[in-house]
Chains A and B, each alone.
Chain A
Amino acid sequence: MARQEMDSQVSALRSMMSRRGFFGAAGAVGAASVLAACGTGGGSANPSASFPADTSAADKLVRWANWTLYLDVDKGKYPTLETFKKQTGINVDYREDVDDNNSFWGKVNGQLRTRKDIGYDIVTLTDWMANRMIQYGYTQPLDAAKVPNKSNILTALANVAFDPGRQRTLTWQSGFAGLVWNKEKLPKGLKTIDDLWQPALKGKVTVLSEMRDTVGCLLLSQGVDITKPISDAQFATALELLSKQLSSGQIYKVQGNQYKNDLINGTAWAGILWSGDIFQLNAENGDKWGFALPESGGTLWSDNMMIPSTSSHQTDAMKLMNYYYEPAVAAKVAAYVNYICPVQGAQAEMEKIDPKLAASEFIFPSADTLARAKTFVGLEAAQETSFNDQWLTAIGQ
């Protein structure tokens, strides 16, 4: 009992600290960003006309905003970053400043609009926010000659809808959203989204509060290709399915990664959830949960590095990106963070570090698996607002 309580406390802490721990954001950073977001006046919609002159050579500095627990760490230092500093003489100011895409956006969008330095040379944001950054002209192009390792990117990630050919962004880490089930309760496992609606799972299903992951999986199950523009009618049909399952009580909750507690305490038996969390949970609690992409396909999300339009350290930033796309370096990061590694060749390097991890479908998914994972299309601003509004209304917010 005590042991179980300890575990739950630890996992509670973890879920608060982990990459998608959105309560930290909602609570602490929320207040600050709310203030920062207050200035909502006019201003030009296209600040990309010119970028600051490159002062990389003189400054030798890269300021990088990333999520928490998202880089290999050892005794308060980041080994791969230390190596980079030694190799290049470039100083890296690494800050775990991103708790939540929305609150980070709230914090920086005013300065980006008025072209004031936001204090970062690389920001790491999720696909849909990367899409927004590009649409608003808040990113700088990557010079392929300065990032030759860019070609190491996984084929599945090379041509995302919001940035074909990766002209302005480069994947940091990726993950799946798909079917998760408790192996004890459901020894047969789950294969399709429809399997979630079986009577035995009434009140035991939970889905993600990340609109693109949940609606994405539902759309795929309805035969919609989510990598192509989505019509209002298609979106409405998917939301109808969600509302039906919510009002019948089949889905008991739509939530962020606090669902981990529910899996542990037996409240949730199944759901549409994130692969990275299940990897961690299985490592901590015995191999209790299964994960699979639905037969109709699951979503592939990524966090992407990009250079904000206000940065004057473009070359140094690109050097850093290039460094992390060396397979050996990427393997070291993957061995720590356990998300999908976006770099080809890292699997072979991982064999030298930990053969068990190298065989993991969670970190190095097979081509078969990757073929079934889709990235949600980049939405136009007006459609994004409308979809978000309908989504929030459907889940009671």
Chain B
Amino acid sequence: MNAPVVPVPAAGVQAVRSTKAGTRRRWTPYLLLLPGLLWLGIFFIIPLASLLMQSLQTPVPNGLAGQFQQTWRFQNYIDTLSQPNFYNAMIRSFTYSFIATVLALLIAYPLAYAIALRAGRAKPLLLVLVVAPFFVSFILRTIAWKQVLGAEGPVVSTLQALHLVQQNFTIYPSSAAVIAGLTYNFLPFMTLPIFASLDRLDTRLVEAANDLYAGNLVAFRKVTLPLTMPGVVAGTLLTFIPASGDYINSELLGGSVNTTMIGKVIDSRFLVLSDYPAASVLSFTLMSIILAAVWLYVRKAGTEELV
């Protein structure tokens, strides 16, 4: 081996050059991160800080509606969160979105499994069908559900014709209708990540498990499911988080008093009442709870291969 002979006098120059290169190398990742960090700073951190500050404001004495001053009043949190209307709506939101997430998972997993592993040439078509609802506005689709679940709609009429329910039976408006709407609306967000991990699944591993005397069920439990967990985690997050804050479904498919979700409360307090501090308290609390729940969940489920 001919090691390159480094002339002694040049060593100093080289050292300088390498320090420069080192500096550049050290800064490159940050420079590359800059656009993302700026984005995060301008559109997330600053609004978040302003939301937090707003939640600690009080009305200007003798001021107009919607005029508040910064008084750092932490009591706002206790005052707001102790109102039954508010905490009930908050609990209801999490309950609804939890049930909807579980239902969506139960529907989406077999669906994604069938598309990824059993559909053959129909795979692309079926995938398009999963995404197809996105071509119609979210609100219009939910309004269509009102017609489907309405008193003279197909679901209730069929059940009545089969004498399964009483004549005055209704589905809309009810909690069940809201949860059905949430499940339906967020189903694609659950299906797609699970499909992605199932599609990448090396089926030879399942065959190997079968060869080693694992039944189909055991092979699924020990091989397929663990390998597709990243898809499940991503799907549940993509469903649970937006579903908790959603209020279109509860507004359209629910009644008024017993199905209100927290998003609607925040909207009303902000726009109708111009009670910005209370609305900010609720937003900030909602976000903190979601963040904590997601953190616990991700820690438990692991994120190593999260898509």
Contacts and interface: CB of A to CB of B under 8 A. Distances in A.
B60 interface: yes
Nearest to A5: B147
Say which size band chain A's interface belongs to.
35 or more
Interface residues of B, number: 49
B172 A23 contact: no
Interface string B58-74: 00101111111100000
Contact of A397 (B62, B147, B265): B265
B57 interface: yes
Given A42-B60, A262-B150, A393 B257 contact: no
Interface stretch (B12-20, B99-107, B192-200, B267-275): B267-275
B67 A254 contact: no
Interface string A229-267: 000000000000000001100011111001001101111
B89 interface: yes
Contacts of A23: 139, 248
B256 A41 contact: no
A266 B157 CA distance: 11
Contacts of A261: 143, 146-147, 150
A388 B272 contact: yes
A369 interface: no
A1 to B, nearest CB: 8
A253 B255 contact: yes
A102 B271 contact: yes
Contacts of B63: 42, 45
B168 interface: yes
Contacts of A258: 143, 146, 252
Contact of B276 (A13, A16, A37): A37
Contacts of B93: none
A132 B173 CA distance: 35
Nearest to A40: B68
A55 interface: no
Given A12-B143, A42-B67, A381-B64, A252 B54 contact: no
B256 A253 contact: yes
A255 B153 contact: no
Interface in B244-293: 248, 251-252, 255-258, 260, 264-265, 267-276
A267 B140 contact: no
A376 to B, nearest CB: 16
A100 B272 CA distance: 10
13 contacts: A26-B267, A27-B248, A45-B64, A103-B271, A254-B256, A265-B150, A265-B151, A265-B152, A267-B150, A381-B64, A392-B272, A393-B85, A396-B89
Interface of B: 50, 54, 57, 60, 62-69, 83, 85, 89, 139-140, 143-144, 146-147, 150-153, 168, 170, 172-173, 248, 251-252, 255-258, 260, 264-265, 267-276
Interface of A: 5, 8-9, 12-13, 15-16, 23, 26-27, 30, 33-34, 37-38, 40-43, 45, 100, 102-103, 106, 109, 113, 132, 136, 203, 246-247, 251-255, 258, 261-262, 264-267, 381, 384-385, 388-389, 392-393, 395-397
